[in-house]
């Protein structure tokens, strides 16, 4: 009887060991997902920082144009509509990114890469406009 109990106990130990291995694997998967989520969140934060820098640069460009308004009014008025449009686009992207960030906090998977591409395109367009404005001053 003692031998039979020992075998049962031994079998139970093997089952526990298997369950522990399963739990370790599950923990490893959770850690990997956490690392991916952390990288995604970090990328979102970096892109939000980029938006803030673009908005600061935009404000500086508008201020510079307002200061130069009397020096060369035709260039100022030629570009001001494009600057206003860019401002609205940047704000739209900022709202989209804030929405994406909120979704990250709720563990809903979003395409941060897609949002990053939108921001990147906006950034490139913004830089082209600022360069054009600076060249025309």
Helix ranges (DSSP H) in the chain: 2-68, 73-105, 112-135
Q: Give per-residue pLDDT as tens, 91-119.
A: 776 676 666 666 655 544 445 555 566 66
Domain segments of the chain: what residues?
A: 2-135
Q: Give per-residue pLDDT as tens, 116-131.
A: 666 666 666 666 666 6
> What is residue 108's predicted lDDT score, i.e. its pLDDT?
47
Mean per-residue pLDDT, 13-30 = 84
What CA–CA distance (Å, rounded) separates 37 from 85?
34
Which token pair is 1?
A: 């009887």
Reply yes or no on whether the pLDDT at 44 is more than 60.
yes
């Amino acid at each position: 009887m003692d031998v039979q109990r020992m075998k049962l106990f031994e079998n139970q130990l093997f089952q526990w060991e298997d369950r522990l291995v399963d739990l370790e694997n599950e923990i490893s998967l959770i850690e990997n997902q956490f690392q991916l989520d952390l990288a995604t969140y970090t990328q979102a934060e970096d892109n939000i920082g980029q938006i803030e820098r673009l908005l600061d640069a935009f404000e500086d460009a508008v201020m510079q144009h307002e200061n130069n308004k009397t020096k060369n009014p035709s260039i100022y008025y030629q570009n001001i509509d494009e600057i206003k449009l860019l401002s609205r686009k940047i704000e739209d992207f900022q709202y989209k990114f804030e929405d994406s960030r909120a979704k990250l906090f709720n563990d809903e998977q979003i395409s941060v890469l897609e949002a990053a591409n939108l921001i990147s395109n906006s950034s490139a367009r913004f830089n082209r406009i600022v360069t054009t404005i600076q060249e025309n001053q």
